[in-house]
Amino acid sequence: RHYVNYLRRQGVKIMAPDINKSKKFFSIENDNVRYGLMGIKNVGEQAMEYVLTERKNGPFKDIRDFIERCSGQINKRMVESLIKGGALDCFGKTRATLLASYERIMATVANDKKSSVSGQMSLFDFATEEDKQEFEIRLPNVGEYSKEELLDFEKEVLGVYLSGHPLEEYMSVLQK
């Protein structure tokens, strides 16, 4: 936390964690510092090693792709913390939408894997790619949390306010 504040005072931008760009620890990216994935609460080292290895096969396209490719290595608390910390913002969905959807997606992926292991087939197995898209899990559009709630989530899982500060609107008064 102290280092983050020091870097900010020096004019260095601290970039949010990103499941497709962050390294295990903090890293330099275009003269800025990218928050490391291991700095997020509830992120285990073994699971993150697996995620980083899997990412070498290409960036994660969306939350379902991330969960499918890392199934069995990640758990609900980890995914929730990644969402709250902003590491899955790269998927273009709000954190509220991702938090409202991730458990259902994890359950669906686990069920699909269980069915494929037991050799069961479904009508979905015979569908064309176009038809499969019709059955994809649709993420609800639930808007976004308030700025204060997003900052509280960041403080909870990152230990710092990353995208702003609760007192930001009062800074000019506080500086006086």
pLDDT of the chain along its 176 residues, tens only? 667 778 777 788 888 899 999 999 988 988 888 989 999 999 989 999 999 999 999 999 999 999 999 988 899 999 999 999 999 999 999 999 999 999 999 998 888 777 665 555 554 555 555 544 444 556 667 777 788 898 888 888 888 777 665 555 655 565 56
pTM of the model: 0.79
Residue 104 CA, chain-centre distance (Å), reads 16
**Nearest-angstrom CA–CA distance, 1 and 160:** 6
Instruction: Break the chain down into helix, strand, coil percent, rounded to 5.
Output: 55, 5, 40
**Nearest-angstrom CA–CA distance, 117 and 119:** 5
Residues 46-75 have pLDDT tens digits of 999 999 999 999 999 999 999 999 988 899
Question: Are 27 and 34 contacting, i.e. CB atoms less than 8 angstroms apart?
Answer: yes
DSSP states along 93-112: S-HHHHHHHHHHHHHHHHHH
CA dihedral of 151, 152, 156, 161, whole degrees rounded to 10: 30
Predicted confidence at residue 138, as pLDDT, reads: 66
Predicted confidence at residue 137, as pLDDT, reads: 58
147-158 vs 76-84: helix crossing angle, rounded to 10 = 130
CA dihedral of 165, 167, 171, 173, whole degrees rounded to 10: 180
Predicted confidence at residue 135, as pLDDT, reads: 46
